[in-house]
Structure 1
Amino acid sequence: MARTGLVNQNKPNPPIETIKEIILHYWKMKKNDKEILDLILKKIDRSKFGLEQEAMPLVTQSDPGSENYGIANAHTMLRQMHDPALMGTLQHRWMRIKKNIKLEIAWSQLRRRFILGFEDILDKGVVNNWYDADIDLQRMVFHWVFIPWLQCELDSYCDRVNNTQKRADKNKILPHGVPNHIFETPEDFGAYDCKVIVSPDAVEHVRNLYAPKDHAVFELVPVKFSALAEIFYNGMGHPAVERETVWPIYCALLCQFEQYKDNAAQDEWLQDLARLQDITTKDVAKIVLLDGMDELPNGMDKPRPDGSYYMGGVNKGHGPVRNFEDDGEQSSNHGESYRDLLEDGQLVASFSSENEMESESVVDE
Structure 2
Amino acid sequence: MPLVSQSDPGPENFGLANGHTILRHWHDPSLIDTLQHRWMNEKKNVMPEISWSQLRRRFTPGFEDILDLGVSNGWYDPDILLQALVFRWVFIPWLQRELDAYRDRVNNTAKRADRNKVLPHGVPNHMYEAPEDYGVLDFKIKVDPAAVSYVRNLYAPPDHEVFELVPKDFAELANHFYEEIGSPAIGRSNVWEVYNQLLGRFEHLDNLHRIPADIDDCWGYALTIAREDHADDIALLPNLTPLANGLDAVREDGSFYLGGVNNGLGLDETQSSQLDEMMNTDEPLPPGLIDLEEGDQLMVVFSDEEDDSGEDD
Aligned to 2:147: 202
Task: Point out the structure with max Rg over C-alpha.
Answer: 2
1:358 matched to 2:309: yes
Question: Match of 1:212, SS?
Answer: coil
Deviation at 1:273, TM superposition (A): 3.8
Distance 1:304 1:237 in 2: 64
Aligned to 2:253: 306
Deviation at 1:101, TM superposition (A): 1.1
Unaligned runs of 5+ in 1: 1-55, 328-350
1:258-281 deviations in Å (ceiling 9; x for gaps): 011344556425424415624653
Question: Match of 1:126, SS?
Answer: helix
Aligned to 2:297: none
Aligned to 1:128: 73
Q: What amino acid is aligned across from residue 142 of structure 1 in structure 2?
A: F
Q: How do residues 1-365 of structure 1 correspond to structure 2 at under 5 angstroms? A: 56-261=1-206, 262-264=209-211, 267-275=214-222, 277-278=224-225, 280-281=227-228, 284=231, 286-321=233-268, 324=271, 326=273, 353=302, 355-362=306-313
Aligned to 1:341: none
Q: What amino acid is aligned across from residue 353 of structure 1 in structure 2?
A: F
Kept in 2, the 8 Å contact 1:97–1:301? The answer is no
Kept in 1, the 8 Å contact 2:5–2:38? The answer is yes
Distance 2:238 2:151 in 1: 17
> TM-score scaled to structure 1, two decimals?
0.73
Aligned residues: 284
1:305-333 deviations in Å (ceiling 9; x for gaps): 21111111111111112575646xxxxxx
Deviation at 1:120, TM superposition (A): 0.9
Kept in 2, the 8 Å contact 1:90–1:295? The answer is yes
Deviation at 1:63, TM superposition (A): 0.3
Kept in 2, the 8 Å contact 1:217–1:276? The answer is no
Question: Match of 1:224, SS?
Answer: helix
Kept in 2, the 8 Å contact 1:59–1:313? The answer is yes
Alpha-carbon RMSD: 2.1
Kept in 2, the 8 Å contact 1:221–1:273? The answer is no
Distance 1:103 1:212 in 2: 26
Deviation at 1:283, TM superposition (A): 5.8
Deviation at 1:147, TM superposition (A): 1.0
Deviation at 1:207, TM superposition (A): 1.2
Kept in 1, the 8 Å contact 2:38–2:246? The answer is yes
Kept in 2, the 8 Å contact 1:298–1:310? The answer is yes
Aligned to 2:287: none
> TM-score scaled to structure 2, two decimals?
0.84
Q: Call closer, same or farther: CA 1:163–1:278 in 2, change over 3 Å.
A: closer
Q: Call closer, same or farther: CA 1:283–1:206 in 2, change over 3 Å.
A: farther
Distance 2:243 2:112 in 1: 34
Distance 2:270 2:158 in 1: 46
Deviation at 1:66, TM superposition (A): 1.2
Question: Match of 2:142, SS?
Answer: strand
1:108-161 deviations in Å (ceiling 9; x for gaps): 111221111111111111111000111111011001111111111112222222
Distance 2:165 2:76 in 1: 18
Distance 2:42 2:173 in 1: 49
Question: Match of 1:98, SS?
Answer: coil
Deviation at 1:185, TM superposition (A): 1.5
1:65-119 deviations in Å (ceiling 9; x for gaps): 1111111111111111222211221111000253321111111111221111111
Distance 1:164 1:286 in 2: 39
Kept in 2, the 8 Å contact 1:173–1:352? The answer is no
